[in-house]
Amino acid sequence: MAAAGSAVGLGNIWKFPYMTGEYGGGAFVLVYLITIAFVGFSVMVAEMLIGALGRKDTVGSFERLAPPDKKGWKYAGFMGFNGLIIMTFYSVVIGWIFYYLFKLSSALPTSTETAKATFDNLVANEPGVQIFWHTVATLIVTYIVYRGIKGGIEKINLILMPALMMILFGMLFYAFSLDGFSKAFSFMFEPDWSKLNSEAIVRAVGHSFFTLSLGMGAIMTYAASLPKHTSITQTAFIVTFMDTLIALVAGLVIYTFLFQEGAPAAQGPGLVFISLPVVLSNFGYIGTFLALLFFLALSFAGLTSAVSLVEPVVQYIIDRFDTTRLKAVLIAGSAYYIVGIGALLSYTKAWGETFSIAGKPLFDILEYTTDSILLPLGGLLIAVFVGYVLQKERVRSALAHEMGDRYFAVWRFSIRYVAPIALVFMMLNLMGVLKI
Ligand code: TRP
């Protein structure tokens, strides 16, 4: 459940729907689904395997599992620190969501202009408000992680994940009753190949890694505390399935509301912050209620992912420096909190230039480097480690009895060839597409 909570995040409910809109719908969704099935799932099994066999923090697990002459692999474990880089902007976005929860409860914007003005004004002119909500987000996440895996992380996942699913499925049922639903369905599931360009493919591949929380050690860290004899294959399958299901449901719900009111699909990152509230304002009281539920679900999804971004570093600090959890959490928390302030300031009018490098806002730089370089690199290291460095017999004895020999061979082929090629292809292309 915690791994599913990590995977299901802003990536599913905010990013996936707006990317689907920007890249033209069905064809993008299909590429995303194919990558999840053929690459994402295999890497998920590999990452869980390292955690389940290593049973330590990310650095410790790599170190323990590497053969004696290859102990340098322990440095791959530093991928855990990418979690803090992601958290710098993830926490800011969770802050925006909190702000919206608070703001929308009074009134929904009735025109796109006012909605856009609200969002743009928050981002460009309200550093204080943003810092306030970023602080609230940081404090909540810090407290949950401080309570530990059993007392904090598992508990909130056990509550928030079912709540999130109930909200989203409830909204889906409501969406069934609207005319917009069939349009949303065809938009998402009838591929229009003319809309698929190389950028869309690369972004779909990249997103399939982000959404599954792969390549950073989050899944690895959680797998290190799985009960012995838990089936890795089955766990990876459930997590992958739930993550994909929730992304698709979120997409269907949002597009049903949008098409119901005749709004266009391509809205960019403002989709849920600008377009959705306006569309829902046409639904009267039900609309306000739906908007609140939606942002509540979004904040739950964000929080359960955020804790998984922080926990790997916290475990590393505890294991290596023999400190208390409290100290480790405070160190990790302050690191991303401070840089996060820089990230949010980089979008403001007053401070934008100070916090930009070569004309690019710090926020974008942090997001691009993790999405297009660090996560794929982490995924590549995981695939190479499990495919080539770990003794084959060890891997076989852990997985073949779960998968059966035939699927084990398919999985191994995917981890040795398909995943590395897809990841290198993606890294090179993303750097080109995003012009870094
Ligand atoms: N998967 C989460 C989302 O979809 C984000 C996330 C959490 C993540 N942990 C991660 C992404 C580890 C990459 C690596 O929003």
**186-227 pLDDT per residue, tens:** 999 999 888 888 888 888 888 889 999 999 999 999 999 999
Q: Which atom of ligand 1 has the smallest separation from the CA of 16?
A: 4
Cα 236 to ligand 1 centre (Å): 15
pLDDT (0 to 100) of residue 284: 87
Q: Residue 356: beta bridge partners?
A: 361
Cα 237 to ligand 1 centre (Å): 17
Q: How much of the chain exceeds pLDDT 70, in percent?
A: 98
pLDDT (0 to 100) of residue 436: 47
Q: Is residue 178 part of a domain?
A: yes
pLDDT (0 to 100) of residue 261: 82
Is 298 near ligand 1, meaning CB less than 6 Å away? no
pLDDT category of residue 433 using cuts at 50, 70 and 90 = low
Cα 9 to ligand 1 centre (Å): 7
Residue nearest ligand 1's atom 10 by CA: 213
| 237, 41 contact by CB (below 8 A) | yes
pLDDT at residue 435 is higher than 60: no
Task: State how many domains the chain has.
Answer: 1
Kindly tell me the burial class for residue 303, based on how many C-beta atoms sit within 10 Å of its own C-beta (0-12, 13-18, 19 or more).
Answer: buried
pLDDT at residue 36 is higher than 90: yes
Nearest to 9 by CA among 114, 73, 94, 83: 94
pLDDT category of residue 323 using cuts at 50, 70 and 90 = very high
Q: Is residue 45 part of a domain?
A: yes
Alpha carbon distance 422, 41 (integer Å): 13
Q: Which domain holds residue 101?
A: 2-430
Mean pLDDT, residues 385-412: 95
Is 88 near ligand 1, meaning CB less than 6 Å away? no
Nearest to 315 by CA among 75, 61, 46: 61
pLDDT at residue 354 is higher than 50: yes
Check residues 410 and 284 and name the one with the higher pLDDT.
410
Alpha carbon distance 272, 28 (integer Å): 19
Q: What is the CATH number of the domain that holds 342?
A: 1.10.4160
Q: Is residue 435 part of a domain?
A: no
